[in-house]
Amino acid sequence: MKEIVEELKGLVHDLKERIEKKDKEGQKKVEEEIKKALQEQRKASFVVQSEEEKKQLRKRAADLYLASAILKKPVEELAGNAESELRKALDAATSGKGSEWIETAFSDEIMDRVALELKVASVFPQIDMKRSPLEVPIKGTLPSAKLKSASLTDTTPTGYTGKVTLTAKTLYSYIPIDVDLEEDAIFPILPVVKEDLALALSAAIENAILNGDTAATHMDADVTASDDPRKAFLGLRAYAVDNSLVVDASTFNETVLRNMRKEMGKYGADPNQLVWITGIAGYTKMLNLSNVLTVDKYGPNATLLTGELAKFDGIPVIVSEYVREDLNASGVYDGTTTTNTVIYLVNKNAWVYGVRRKVTVEAEKIAKDQATHVVATIRVAFRHRVADGEKIAVIGVTEA
């Protein structure tokens, strides 16, 4: 992991130099290398988390669970075809030797993988939803704390006088697998299947958080399908557009970024509660600013968020591939003017990401397709937990 962070630092430094030299071709190559390094960073994190013995056993048990769903055979039968180490470790019929993991292991293991892919969602407070819908207190002014004397004095909390409703939505992904696949061929492809399902679900979550809109007519003209994940939540960009929190950043400089923060009022005061989110086009623009501190300047003890490559005014800059770069001057897609992108400035503590149900998997044989469809689903929610209209997300529109 340390080596990858050092590589990222060097790549960012190289990118900045190429931008200054106006080396467009070299710049493009370095941008691709940065994307690859970020992917390696996430994979390395996953390996570190999986080094513990129980993690490894859960991973193997997950393979059995998935193979069982695809082949429609009991886990006990398939365990005989697994590697000898797993056969010794996993007794599917005995509690305490792995049987208690079989039904949930796939969910736990793939949830770890999904979590590692979430660059944007991971910055927000997360709650485990025991039910849906779930009422969450509105975040406002904190209740006051007083000095205790002889007795306690009643204090009326001013920060929790209302509530918002968090409603989980189901996102899904599926992969068709040839029905002729034999047992001895299924285990080698399982890592690919799990990887693809995790990537698909995490992409849908990120896309919905950044570009989601729950209006009858989506703000973006190309989002029309009823099953488009960008219809799951009211996302950050739609919230900013709906509440006129859109800043003209066509003249891109430090002043305009600070004006975005000024626009947030009290929600922009604490840099520890804020995060910049941008695509590679916006990130490249930010590198031209003298006060952007890139990862090569962080120092040896720096801790990077997934996807974080810089800081501006002490606020982390997260780079996400799901930030659109084909928008008009209002920050929406109209199919006509497609030359702009947006940079988000968000108060992360004013939003909440909820998980109602972890990833579950089912498999069904479809005769006409001659394939077994492996379907993974997850139930999640995303919402602001302050009163409507508060200045908790601002977007700056600039040329891509």
| Rounded Cα distance, 287 and 254, in Å | 11
Domain membership of residue 195 (yes or no) is yes
Domain membership of residue 292 (yes or no) is no
Domain membership of residue 286 (yes or no) is no
What is the model's pLDDT at position 180? 72
Domain membership of residue 334 (yes or no) is yes
pLDDT band at 52 (very low <50, low <70, confident <90, very high): low
Lowest model confidence (mean pLDDT) among 13-17, 212-216, 237-241 = 13-17
Percent of the chain with pLDDT over 70: 74
Strand-pair category, 371-384 with 274-278: unpaired
What is the model's pLDDT at position 93? 41
What is the model's pLDDT at position 194? 81
Say if CB 63 and CB 93 are below 8 A apart.
no
pLDDT band at 54 (very low <50, low <70, confident <90, very high): low
Lowest model confidence (mean pLDDT) among 98-107, 148-157, 216-225 = 98-107
For residues 179 and 91, the model is more confident at 179
Total number of domains in the chain? 1
Domain membership of residue 354 (yes or no) is yes
Q: How is residue 139 annotated by DSSP? A: P
Handedness of CA 24, 30, 36, 39 (dihedral sign): negative
What is the model's pLDDT at position 22? 84
Residues 125-147, mean pLDDT to the nearest whole number? 77
Domain membership of residue 26 (yes or no) is no
pLDDT at 85 over 50: no
pLDDT at 158 over 70: no
pLDDT at 3 over 50: yes
Using alpha carbons, select from 26, 33, 15, 20 the residue that is nearest to residue 283.
15
What is the model's pLDDT at position 97? 37
What is the model's pLDDT at position 37? 80
Q: Residue 158: which CATH number? A: 3.30.2400.10
Domain membership of residue 355 (yes or no) is yes
| Rounded Cα distance, 380 and 399, in Å | 33
- Structural domain including 234 reads 124-279+320-400
Strand-pair category, 315-319 with 308-312: antiparallel
Using alpha carbons, select from 123, 131, 159 the residue that is nearest to residue 144.
159
Using alpha carbons, select from 256, 220, 257, 250 the residue that is nearest to residue 238.
220
pLDDT band at 69 (very low <50, low <70, confident <90, very high): confident
For residues 312 and 182, the model is more confident at 312
Using alpha carbons, select from 259, 261, 237 the residue that is nearest to residue 248.
259
Domain membership of residue 205 (yes or no) is yes
